Amino acid sequence: MRFVKYSLLLAPLSALALGACSSAESPGPRPSPSPITITIDAPGAGGLAGQTPLPQGTFPYAINEAGAIGGHFQDANNVLHGFIRAADGLIVAFDAPGAGTGAFQGTQGFAINSEGAIVGK
């Protein structure tokens, strides 16, 4: 069985830092590898930071062992949309069936499994 350990540092507006340990490394205490920083800007994400109750932008929330990243973004009309970013950089936006389409409504992705399925609300 292959284990990959990822650490996810959440920061608003498109910044995602992650690090991985190979399965050959022991799980004991060791210095963490230098994190890799990936900038994610989902197509259609708004750029108004500091807005309340929710700022616009891209919010990555989870990464799986294949390197796929799931999360959500808020567009210029303040509608929320889910997204998945493949390890090769392709970003696909999606909306859950029946999700609201008004301001501060929509789809939010919070976790991703090894198959690439995203859960949220």
Q: How far is C-alpha 88 from the geometric centre of its chain's CA atoms?
A: 14
| The overall pTM is greater than 0.85 | no
**Exposed / middle / buried, residue 102 (Cβ in 10 Å: 0-12, 13-18, 19+):** exposed
Where are the domains positioned within the chain?
5-120
β-strand partners of 5? 21
pLDDT in tens, 71-119: 999 999 999 999 999 999 999 999 999 999 999 999 999 999 999 999 9
Contact status, residue 17 vs residue 36, Cβ threshold 8 Å: yes
Element (H, E) at 20: strand 15-21
